[in-house]
Amino acid sequence: MALKAQITEDMKTAMRARQSERLATIRLLLAALKQKEVDERIELDDAAVIGVIDKLIKQRKDSIEAFRKAERHDLADKEAAEMAVLQDYLPARMSGDEIASAVRAIVSSLGAKGPGDMGKVMGAVKSQLAGKADMAQVSAAVKAALAG
């Protein structure tokens, strides 16, 4: 089943189970997906859906950090709950070692040397690891591979 269809089914299940917090988060996700489809006039595939989910999770992480700095733990907890629901739709994430080895393989296949090739390497890495790895970890691994 396509990821978008799975999300829609989960929305129906949450409605029936009267899980209001989960339902609100799933509706937010579906609205973000629909907005992307309308803006770009495309039908989203699973990779694009994962990209939207990654973006929403990153927004939640930033919000949690800001709310904790402002001593608004109630709002931080709400964002953390939303992030947990969103993470259910992501595939299993790669470990740090798996990311590092994948980045080293891509760097050697491209023949990249030094920080000047960062953009070229990140483009290739994003296409291969999108949705499978945290891009902050990927970026750090690319910097380390190009520095060494």
pLDDT at 148: 66
pLDDT at 105: 85
Q: Which domains does the chain have, with CATH numbers?
A: 3-87 (1.10.1510.10), 96-147 (1.10.10.410)
The single-letter code of the amino acid at 125 is V
pLDDT at 99: 85
Contact by Cβ (8 Å): 99, 141: yes
- Cβ burial 107-137 (10 Å sphere, 16+ → b, else e): beeeebeeeeeeeebbebbeeebebbbbbeb
Whole-model pTM? 0.76
pLDDT at 113: 78
**Does residue 19 sit in helix, strand or coil?**
coil
Q: How far is CA 71 from the centre of its chain?
A: 26
pLDDT < 50 positions in the chain: none
